[in-house]
Chain A
Amino acid sequence: MTDNPMLNEWYPVGILTELTSEGRDTLLMGEPIHVARDAGGNPVVATKDGRCLPVRARYGHVWTSLGTPAKELFDIPEADQPGRRLVDVGVVRVKCSPLRAVENFLDIAHFPFVHTDILGAEPHTEVQRYEVQIREEVDEVWATKVKFYQPQAAKSAEGGITTDYMYRVPAPTVSILYKTCPPRPGEWDVITLFVQPMAEDLCQVWPWMALFDDQTPMTDLIHFQQMIFLQDRSILENQLPRLLPLDPGMEIPTRADMTSVAYRRWLKRHGFTYGAQLVAA
């Protein structure tokens, strides 16, 4: 695994406010690691044989890498914007490829069928044409001008609205969703999916949000997002093949899958193949 470019990427391994001095054991790409808080209150991460790993404390989470990251952790400027509520949603363990978890988050077409009467509803199933690009200057996948009808786009939404979306993939196991902010037109709510790859077919998902919503109790915001993700989990754990195919093979991508295809192309170009199936089944 030494020539695996994904070793040099940043990954979430815990929630900052839940760190203890005793710490806890977990896995990162098959490697046992220990995540704890030192005497000064700073997060520390080490491998089982005592090697200290690089650490960042950002977006409510502890980030680390098994290698030597060439880039600093990606930026989410909205995290520092006054007036936003920052929500650590918690963790969901999913028996699926970490890349599958990200791809599912990028998929709009499943909303009416998996998140029925919340993020989508029949007969509003058509995904209108949108734009996808790899922004070379930042080396990120972006999908813009995405529009979709949603019966309840957010906890704060009253009634159905056509929601505008943007999707961004700044790292192989991170996706950031920008969506219409019901209480504050002109701003975007930010909902992220931070994925910890534990093994090629096992991951922990740490959703995190930066919202303009002064009304909804924090527990309701968390429960809403957890409910959405738990609906996805049963789908993710039953997908075949279990790893994300980089050769379309038996899967036939269509226009609605443009973001998924761009994500797979970006993974392929960088050799980010941990959790991927390289040859069609």
Chain B
Amino acid sequence: MSSNATCSDMFTLRGDLGAPSFLPWIARHAGRLGIIGRVTAASADEVSLLVEGPPDLVDAMELGVSLGPIDVWVESIERESLLLRP
């Protein structure tokens, strides 16, 4: 895999996700990583998130989101790879 490779993954987060702080937090964290993190669907117990960027940073996004802000509990993250382009 080249160092410039980009992956595009769909994250499905489940848990206690209803706090209003969560979606802005996701956008902020993706911004800090310099990758795309776009929420495509959201409810109090499930959030779908499209994440695009270098694989190591997409991994970092998964780790960061698994912790999340203090008023949110992410029980699980299902990750589906959409594409990988060099």
Contacts and interface: CB of A to CB of B under 8 A. Distances in A.
Whether both chains belong to one complex is answered with: yes
Interface in A167-193: none
Secondary structure at the A interface, as helix, strand, loop or mixed, is loop
Interface in B59-73: 59-60, 63-64, 66-70, 73
Interface residues of B, number: 15
Given A253-B60, A254-B56, A255-B56, A268 B73 contact: yes
B38 interface: no
Contact of A247 (B56, B68, B73): B68
B51 to A, nearest CB: 14
Secondary structure at the B interface, as helix, strand, loop or mixed, is helix
A250 B33 CA distance: 10
Interface of B: 25, 29, 32-33, 56, 59-60, 63-64, 66-70, 73
Given A248-B67, A280-B69, 8 more contacts: A248-B63, A252-B33, A253-B64, A255-B56, A257-B63, A261-B66, A265-B66, A269-B73
16 contacts: A246-B70, A247-B68, A247-B70, A248-B29, A252-B32, A252-B33, A253-B60, A254-B60, A254-B63, A255-B60, A257-B63, A258-B63, A265-B67, A268-B67, A268-B70, A280-B69
